[in-house]
Amino acid sequence: MSFWPKSRKARRRLTVLLAVAPVLALAVGLALYGMRDSISLFYTPAQAQEAHVKPGRKVQLGGLVQHGSVVKHPDGNVEFVVADQKASAKVVYHGDLPDLFREGQGIVAEGTFDDQGVFVAKQVLAKHDERYMPRDVAKALKKQGEWRGGGAKPSYPGYQQ
């Protein structure tokens, strides 16, 4: 019994399939390989602790900036703490913060955790008005019971108004 079909038309189709399949598989493999670093998962501080995010993994960290936690250094580094109802995470950022950045404000920081568990942010985004909140942040806050859609203030330790 031969691998090749007896019909000339079927042999032609099988030949084309055998020629196209490896090229297509290579193209898909290269596309997935190229996109591996562009995927950025969103976490709140509690979710990041539960997930044990590996150092160097690119993620987004969102939550509220704790009052009294912002420290600006002369070299341009800024340290602050992002918190949710269950946990908090120290964030270090080098550069200018957005104009709307302030304590008690919801932010999303993009970056990586280092070996000590400090989040090193490459970019910090602040919400642009009181009604707006990114969908992922709102969903995570609702899930934790921290949603402040009606203007209620958070109840976790360290939050002051």
Is 0.75 topped by the overall pTM?
no
Question: Mind listing the pLDDT tens digit for each residue in 12-66?
Answer: 999 999 999 999 999 999 998 888 767 778 899 999 999 888 898 889 999 999 9
**pLDDT score for 30:** 93
Q: Which two tokens stand for residue 49?
A: 């602790």
Are the CB atoms for 132 and 141 separated by under 8 Å? no
Question: Mind listing the pLDDT tens digit for each residue in 33-48?
Answer: 888 767 778 899 999 9
Q: Is 121 left (phi over 0), alpha (psi -120 to 50) or beta?
A: beta
Are the CB atoms for 87 and 158 separated by under 8 Å? no
Task: Inform me whether the pLDDT recorded for 132 exceeds 60.
Answer: no
